[in-house]
C-alpha cells in the first residue's frame, strides 16, 4: 500500500494505492474518488452495540466503509474529510490513540476501532460520552479543521476543548471551566481541557465551533 | 496569454499576463486586481455569440449573469482573478477539444474559447451538481476553481467520483449515477449513497473536498433563522 | 460536390498523439475513415467499422475497428452517419442504423423531459393563486407582524419618522372610527408619519401603515386622509403584502426545485431588503383595496369621495411633474398610480354603495397640519 497526503495544510486529501488483496477502512462519506472495480462494504463500526454507542453517544458514524482491491493490479482511492484542514498519518505499533469526534478518516484493516468512556462532563458538554480509540498494528489517518500541531506533554497542560484532536491514552484529561463560572462564559474560552501526564497530543489551529460562534451573530 | 497560479490549494489566485489586444473573459466578480492598461467591457454573453438569452442560461447554470471582457491596451497588462470560496485554481488547455465544466467552477478563459450551456439531464440534480453545465470548446486556456485541491484522473474504462466532487471532464466521458460498491445496501449504509460512475476514455478533474458536505456540517450548528 | 468537402469536426485517441488525443477533421472516403490533425493522420477501414454512441450525454459518435484497438475516432456531428459512403456497405449500415436509433431514443427522452418540466411549471402557475390564498389565511398574525416590523426597522434607518406623542394621539383619534368597523381583530394597527413631501402612504403586513407628511399637509379635508388610510387598511386585511412575498418566493421554490441552486437570483432580490416597499402591488390588488376602502368608509359613514379627491390631486401632481420633467417625483408617486380607469371604477363603487348620509368628521385638520408642520420642522 502506498499512501500520500497532498494539499496540506489547508485542503489535505489522502491518496491511497491499494495493491491486490489490500484493503482500507474509511469513515463513511470520506471517499471522494475511486477506481470503479474496488469492492465496497459497509461495516458496522465495531459491532452493533458499540456502533450504536458511537453513533448516539460518541458522535461517530454507525457505519464505516471497507474498500478492498480484489483485482490483480493496483487500484487507487482518494479520501478527504468534510472540513478543510490537514491530515496526518500515524503508524501504530500496538499502541492506542484516542480521537476526538470527527477526527478519524481512515485506517488499515488490522487496526481496531474501539470505544472509551470519556466521562459525564464530556457528554454533557456535547463532546460525546465516549471517545473513539484506534489500536493495533498498522496505519491510521486522522484530520483537523485548520492545521495540526503535535505537542509533547510532560506534566500539566491546558488546551481549548474544541481544538483538541487526538491524544495518547495514558494522558489524563479533565474538562473544566477556563476560569471561574462567570469568566468562562464571558471570556469566550468556555470549556478547557486540563491534560496531565506524559505523552503526545494533537491540536487543530482552528475549530468549527469557533467559526460557528463567529458566524451566528452575523446571521439574521 | 500567460497564466500563473499562486497560493494553491488553500486560497489560490491567478495572475494573467496579457499581450496587447489579448482579451480575458472572466465571470463577473472574479477580478480582484488589474493594471491600468486594461479596458473592461461587460456583456451578458461572449462577443459575437448569443445574447441576453445566453446570459439567462448562464444564470440558470448558477453562474454570474455577466461576463467581463478584459482587454489589454498594451503589452504586459496584468489581471488577477480569484474565486469566492477557498480552494484551488487549475489552468486547463483546450486544443480543438471540448470540456464540460461544472457550473460554478468556471472562473475565466481566453476569448478564443467558445462557451455554451449544456444540459446533462436530471441526473445532475441527484449528483448534487447544477442542472446546467458549461461546455467550453475550441482553442485556449481555461481557469477553473474548486473547493479544495484539484486533481486529474485519467479514466480508461470506469472510475467513480463521489457526488459534489466533479470540477470538469472531457466530452469523451459520460457519467451515470450508480452505487459505490456491488450492493445498494452497502452503498447507502456506508454513507456514500449515490456516486457518479464515469465511463469512456478521457480526463476528469476532481475537487478533494465537498463544499456542500462542509456546508451541511456547519449548517447544523448555525442558529435557525428567526421568525 | 458533397464527396469533395465531406469533412466533419471531431477528435481521436491514438497512442502517438500528444497526451493520447487530439482534435481534428474526419472524412469518409471510399474505403476508409480518415482522421487528420496537425500532428498525425491515420485511417480506419470502413469494412468492419464499429459505431457506438457515447461521451457526455450521448452526444458523440465513436468509430473504432477491432483490428486497430488503440485508435478511436469521434465526432459530435451527427450528419456523419448520413454520409453517402456508409450507404453502400451492409455491415456498416446495420451499425449506423442502431446508432441512429439510439440517438432518436435519446432525443425522445429529452423531449419528454422538457414536456414534463413544462407541465410542472404550468400547473404550478395555475395552482399558484389558490395555494397562496390557502397558505396566507393560515399564517399566524405574529409572523405577519414581525415581517412588517422588520421592514419598518429598515425603513426607519433611512427615513425621518415624526416622533411626537401629540401628533400620534391626534392621528389615532382620527382613524379610530375606521378601525372599529373592521370585522376582524387580527391586526393591531400602527400608524407612522414619515417626513416626505410626496403624496404617498403604504401598508406593511401585520397592520403597519406609513403616511408621508406631504399627504397630510396637502389634504384639503380630513376625508382625503381617511380615504387613503382606509385603502391601506384594506391592503392589510386582504393580506396583499404577504401574498406578494409568498408569490415571489413560491416562484423561487419551484425554480430551485427544478434547477437546483438559484441562490444567485434571490440573493440579489433579498439583499435589497426594502423590495416590498418598492414593489408595486398589482392592479388587481389596488382595485380590490379601493373597493374595500369604500365599504369601510361607508360603514363608518365617512364620505368616500375623499379618496377620489386624493386621486384627482395625485393625477394633477403627476401631470405637473411630467411637464416639469421631474422624473424623480414620478417614481415616488407611482406606487399609487391614479389611472383614469381606476378612478372610474372607484367613482362607480361610490355611486353604487354610497347612498347613505355621511356624518361630518369631527377633526380640526388645520390645527393638526399646523402641529405636524411644527413637529417636522424640528427634524
Q: Which of residues 148-187 of B touch A (CB under 8 A)?
A: 148-149, 151, 153, 157-162, 165, 180-182, 185-187
Set of chain A residues whose Cβ sits within 8 Å of the Cβ of B198: 36
Cα–Cα distance list, C2 to A59, A72, A97, B155, C36 (Å): 69, 51, 74, 37, 18
With bands split at pLDDT 50, 70 and 90, how would you rate the model's confidence at C299?
confident
Cα–Cα distance list, C363 to B82, C175, C225, C366 (Å): 64, 10, 11, 9
A25-29, B216-220, C133-137, C352-356: range with lowest mean pLDDT? C352-356
pLDDT at B226 over 80: no
Higher-confidence residue: C244 or A12?
A12
Mean pLDDT for C308-316 is: 85
Average pLDDT of chain B to the nearest whole number: 81
pLDDT along chain A (220 residues), means of 10: 92 95 90 91 68 58 84 94 92 90 90 78 64 89 93 90 89 72 49 87 89 77
C131-135, C333-337, C355-359: range with lowest mean pLDDT? C333-337
Higher-confidence residue: C29 or A120?
C29
With bands split at pLDDT 50, 70 and 90, how would you rate the model's confidence at B91?
very high
Hey, is the C-beta of A78 within 8 angstroms of any chain B C-beta?
yes
A46-50, B43-47, B70-74, B105-109: range with lowest mean pLDDT? B43-47
Yes or no, beta carbons of A41 and B190 under 8 Å apart: yes
Nearest to B160 among A12, A34, A81 (CB): A34
Cα–Cα distance list, B4 to A153, B16, B82, C212 (Å): 43, 6, 12, 57
- ipTM value for the complex: 0.81
Tell me what pLDDT residue C376 has: 76
Nearest to C143 among B98, B100, B227 (CB): B227
Tell me what pLDDT residue A33 has: 94
Mean pLDDT for B2-29 is: 90
Whole-prediction pTM value? 0.64
Set of chain B residues whose Cβ sits within 8 Å of the Cβ of A215: 218, 222
Yes or no, beta carbons of A40 and B149 under 8 Å apart: no
C190 CB neighbour count, 10 Å cutoff: 17
Chains within contact range of chain A (3+ C-beta pairs < 8 Å) = B
Summarised one tens digit per residue, pLDDT across range C136-167 is: 788 788 878 877 887 787 778 778 888 888 88
Spatial contact of B206 and B164, defined as CB atoms under 8 Å apart: no
Nearest to B214 among A12, A61, A83 (CB): A83
Tell me what pLDDT residue C302 has: 87
A184 Cα to chain B: minimum distance (Å): 21
At A127, list the grid cell: 463532546
Mean pLDDT for B70-85 is: 91
Tell me what pLDDT residue C252 has: 58
At C282, list the grid cell: 398589482
Chains within contact range of chain B (3+ C-beta pairs < 8 Å) = A, C
B129 Cα to chain C: minimum distance (Å): 8
Tell me what pLDDT residue B177 has: 83
Tell me what pLDDT residue C23 has: 86
Strands C208-212 vs C190-194: parallel, antiparallel or unpaired: parallel
A78-82, A147-151, C78-82, C244-248: range with lowest mean pLDDT? C244-248
Cα–Cα distance list, C299 to C236, C302, C308, C367 (Å): 18, 8, 17, 27
Tell me what pLDDT residue B123 has: 62
Average pLDDT of chain C to the nearest whole number: 78
Percent of chain C whose pLDDT exceeds 90: 4
Set of chain A residues whose Cβ sits within 8 Å of the Cβ of B190: 28, 40-42, 63-65
Nearest to C260 among B59, B118, B125 (CB): B125
Nearest to B162 among A32, A41, A81 (CB): A32
Tell me what pLDDT residue C333 has: 43
Residue B142 belongs to what H/E stretch? strand B132-145
Cα–Cα distance list, B167 to B32, B85, B137, B196 (Å): 22, 14, 16, 12
**A74 vs B94: CA distance, rounded Å:** 31
Mean pLDDT for B142-165 is: 92
A119-133, C112-126, C334-348: range with lowest mean pLDDT? A119-133
Amino acid at each position: 500500500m502506498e499512501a500520500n497526503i497532498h494539499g496540506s495544510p489547508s485542503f489535505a486529501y489522502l491518496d491511497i494505492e491499494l495493491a491486490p488483496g489490500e484493503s482500507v477502512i474509511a469513515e463513511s462519506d470520506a471517499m471522494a474518488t475511486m477506481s470503479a472495480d474496488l469492492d465496497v462494504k459497509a461495516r458496522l463500526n465495531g459491532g452493533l452495540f458499540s456502533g450504536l454507542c458511537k453513533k448516539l453517544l460518541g458522535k461517530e458514524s454507525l457505519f464505516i466503509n471497507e474498500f478492498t482491491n480484489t483485482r490483480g493490479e493496483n487500484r487507487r482511492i482518494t479520501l478527504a474529510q468534510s472540513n478543510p484542514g490537514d491530515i496526518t498519518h500515524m503508524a501504530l505499533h500496538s499502541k492506542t490513540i484516542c480521537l476526538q469526534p470527527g477526527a478519524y478518516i481512515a485506517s488499515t484493516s488490522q487496526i481496531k476501532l474501539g470505544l472509551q468512556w470519556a466521562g459525564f462532563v464530556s457528554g454533557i458538554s456535547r463532546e460525546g460520552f465516549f471517545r473513539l480509540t484506534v489500536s493495533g498494528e498498522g496505519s491510521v489517518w486522522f484530520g483537523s479543521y485548520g492545521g495540526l500541531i503535535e505537542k509533547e506533554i510532560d506534566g500539566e497542560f491546558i488546551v481549548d476543548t474544541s481544538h483538541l484532536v487526538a491524544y495518547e491514552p495514558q494522558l489524563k484529561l479533565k474538562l473544566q471551566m477556563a476560569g471561574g463560572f462567570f469568566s468562562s462564559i464571558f471570556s469566550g474560552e468556555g470549556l478547557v481541557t486540563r491534560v496531565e501526564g506524559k505523552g503526545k497530543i494533537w491540536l487543530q489551529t482552528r475549530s468549527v465551533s469557533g467559526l460557528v460562534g463567529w458566524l451566528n451573530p452575523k446571521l439574521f | 496569454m500567460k497564466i500563473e497560479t499562486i497560493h494553491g490549494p488553500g486560497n489560490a489566485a491567478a495572475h494573467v499576463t496579457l499581450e496587447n489586444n489579448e482579451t480575458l473573459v472572466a465571470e463577473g466578480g472574479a477580478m480582484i486586481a488589474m493594471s491600468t492598461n486594461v479596458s473592461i467591457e461587460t456583456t451578458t454573453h461572449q462577443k459575437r455569440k448569443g445574447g441576453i438569452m445566453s446570459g439567462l442560461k448562464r444564470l440558470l447554470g448558477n453562474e454570474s449573469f455577466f461576463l467581463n471582457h478584459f482587454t489589454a491596451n498594451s503589452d504586459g497588462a496584468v489581471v488577477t482573478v480569484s474565486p469566492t470560496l477557498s480552494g484551488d485554481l487549475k489552468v486547463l488547455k483546450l486544443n480543438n477539444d471540448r470540456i464540460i465544466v461544472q457550473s460554478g467552477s468556471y472562473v475565466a478563459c481566453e476569448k478564443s474559447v467558445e462557451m455554451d450551456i449544456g444540459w446533462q439531464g436530471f441526473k445532475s440534480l441527484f449528483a448534487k451538481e447544477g442542472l446546467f453545465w458549461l461546455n467550453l470548446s475550441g482553442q485556449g486556456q481555461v481557469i477553473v476553481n474548486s473547493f479544495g485541491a484539484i486533481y486529474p484522473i485519467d479514466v480508461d474504462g470506469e472510475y467513480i467520483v463521489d457526488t459534489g466532487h466533479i470540477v470538469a471532464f472531457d466530452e469523451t466521458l459520460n457519467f451515470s449515477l450508480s452505487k459505490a460498491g456491488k450492493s445498494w445496501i452497502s452503498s447507502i449504509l456506508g454513507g456514500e449513497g449515490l456516486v457518479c460512475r464515469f465511463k469512456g476514455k478521457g480526463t476528469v478533474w476532481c475537487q478533494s473536498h465537498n463544499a456542500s458536505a462542509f456546508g451541511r456540517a456547519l449548517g447544523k450548528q448555525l442558529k435557525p433563522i428567526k421568525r | 460536390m458533397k464527396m469533395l468537402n465531406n469533412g466533419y469536426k471531431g477528435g481521436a485517441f491514438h497512442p502517438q498523439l500528444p497526451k493520447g488525443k487530439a482534435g481534428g477533421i474526419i472524412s469518409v472516403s471510399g474505403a476508409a475513415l480518415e482522421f487528420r490533425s496537425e500532428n498525425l493522420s491515420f485511417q480506419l477501414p470502413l469494412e468492419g467499422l464499429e459505431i457506438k454512441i457515447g461521451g457526455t450525454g450521448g452526444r458523440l459518435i465513436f468509430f473504432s475497428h477491432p483490428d486497430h484497438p488503440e485508435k478511436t475516432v469521434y465526432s459530435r456531428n451527427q450528419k456523419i452517419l448520413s454520409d453517402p459512403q456508409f450507404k453502400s456497405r451492409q455491415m456498416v449500415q446495420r451499425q449506423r442504423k442502431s446508432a441512429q436509433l439510439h440517438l432518436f431514443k435519446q432525443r425522445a427522452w429529452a423531449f419528454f423531459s422538457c414536456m414534463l418540466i413544462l407541465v410542472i411549471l404550468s400547473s404550478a402557475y395555475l395552482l399558484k393563486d389558490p395555494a397562496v390564498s390557502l397558505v396566507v389565511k393560515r399564517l399566524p398574525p405574529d409572523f405577519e407582524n414581525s415581517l412588517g416590523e422588520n421592514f419598518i426597522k429598515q425603513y426607519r434607518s433611512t427615513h425621518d419618522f415624526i416622533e411626537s406623542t401629540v401628533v400620534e394621539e391626534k392621528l389615532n383619534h382620527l382613524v379610530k372610527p375606521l378601525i372599529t368597523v373592521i370585522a376582524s381583530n387580527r391586526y393591531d394597527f400602527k400608524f407612522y408619519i414619515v417626513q416626505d413631501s410626496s403624496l404617498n402612504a403604504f401598508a406593511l403586513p401585520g397592520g403597519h401603515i406609513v403616511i408621508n407628511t406631504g399627504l397630510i399637509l396637502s389634504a384639503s379635508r380630513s376625508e382625503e386622509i381617511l380615504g387613503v388610510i382606509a385603502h391601506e387598511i384594506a391592503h392589510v386585511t386582504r393580506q396583499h403584502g404577504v401574498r406578494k412575498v409568498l408569490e415571489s418566493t413560491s416562484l423561487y421554490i419551484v425554480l430551485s426545485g427544478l434547477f437546483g441552486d438559484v441562490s444567485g437570483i434571490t440573493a440579489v432580490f433579498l439583499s435589497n431588503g426594502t423590495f416590498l416597499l418598492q414593489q408595486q402591488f398589482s392592479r388587481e390588488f389596488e382595485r380590490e383595496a379601493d373597493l374595500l376602502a369604500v365599504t369601510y368608509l361607508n360603514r363608518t359613514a365617512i364620505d368616500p369621495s375623499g379618496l377620489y379627491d386624493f386621486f384627482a390631486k395625485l393625477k394633477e401632481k403627476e401631470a405637473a411633474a411630467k411637464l416639469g420633467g421631474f422624473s424623480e417625483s414620478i417614481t415616488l408617486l407611482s406606487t399609487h398610480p391614479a389611472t383614469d380607469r381606476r378612478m372610474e371604477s372607484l367613482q362607480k363603487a361610490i355611486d353604487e354603495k354610497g347612498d347613505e348620509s355621511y356624518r361630518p368628521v369631527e377633526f380640526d385638520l388645520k390645527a393638526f397640519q399646523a402641529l405636524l408642520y411644527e413637529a417636522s420642522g424640528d427634524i
